[in-house]
Amino acid sequence: MYRWVRIAIVGKYTDLSDAYLSVLKALFHASVVIRKKLVVDMVPSCDLENTTKKEDSRAYEAAWKLLKDANGVLLPGGFGDRGMEGMILAAKYSRENNIPFLGICLGMQIAVIEFARSVLCLPDANSTEFESETKHPCIIFMPEGSTTHMGGTMRLGSRRAYFHVKDSKSARLYENKDFVDERHRHRYEVW
Ligand SMILES: NC(=O)CC[C@H](N)C(=O)O
């Protein structure tokens, strides 16, 4: 048993202290339940990328060390393509090394893109948020949204999601209920 639990949050807003406040609070509550001292390392996703390796090798090494020292990796939400490839690298590293991983919002979409690229052998797989003409769109703009209006196109607030696979890991987390109502805040979804 470790006394500590080290979680790496790999995101693009790591400079903004309150950007991931709710995630930090949730991690803290979870650490109390499992009686471990929580250590959170903020890893700027851009720093995991090859461009940083060339431009600032110390930042690159530091980011990878934090990722490799983590007991768990959390990819939080976000918008736009900056730092996206670094998040994909973090998802790939976690999957290939069996590191407990949680992707929230954008983080979950990133995990889907990474799986499509690495496991389904679709190297061009992407979200249309980052590459509108991608050959293999696996995250797409939601049909109920509008491509022309920026305001009011977000799926916001409570939405019902049904579990199609009984006794899956996520269903078990919700005590095998038939559905859950969770808060949403996004424009894109898994195809
Ligand atoms: N909340 C989020 O992380 C948003 C994810 C993604 N940018 C979308 O709009 O779907």
Atom in ligand 1 nearest the alpha carbon of residue 107: 3
Higher pLDDT, 144 or 24: 24
Pocket mutation for ligand 1, best pick of 132, 182, 186, 190 (most atoms within 8 Å of C-beta): 186
Which domains, from first to last, does the chain contain? 3-141 (3.40.50.880)
Model confidence over 91-104: pLDDT tens digits? 999 999 999 999 99
- List the residue whose alpha carbon is closest to atom 8 of ligand 1: 186
121 is catalytic: no
d(CA 77, CA 72): 17
Q: Tell me, what amino acid is at 20? A: Y
Q: How sure is the predictor about 16, in pLDDT bands with cuts at 50, 70 and 90? A: confident
Here the tokens at position 191 are 């195809």
- Nearest Cα neighbor of 66 from 83, 84, 41 is 41
Q: Which of 46, 105, 121, 138 is catalytic?
A: 105
Model confidence over 80-89: pLDDT tens digits? 899 999 999 9
d(CA 189, CA 37): 35
d(CA 76, CA 12): 9
**Residue 67 CA: distances (Å) to CA of 37, 96, 177, 186:** 18, 13, 34, 26
Residue 96 backbone phi and psi in degrees, to 5: -70, -25
Give one DSSP letter per residue of 33-62, joined into a string: HTT-EEEEEEEEGGGGSHHHHHH-HHHHHH
Return the DSSP state at 48: G
| Residue 128 burial (10 A CB sphere; 0-12, 13-18, 19+) | middle
Return the DSSP state at 33: H
User: Residue 157, SS3?
Assistant: strand
Model pLDDT, residue 89: 98
pTM across the whole model:
0.91
Assembly ipTM: 0.97
**Pairing state of beta strands 155-162 and 179-186?**
antiparallel
- List the residue whose alpha carbon is closest to atom 4 of ligand 1: 186
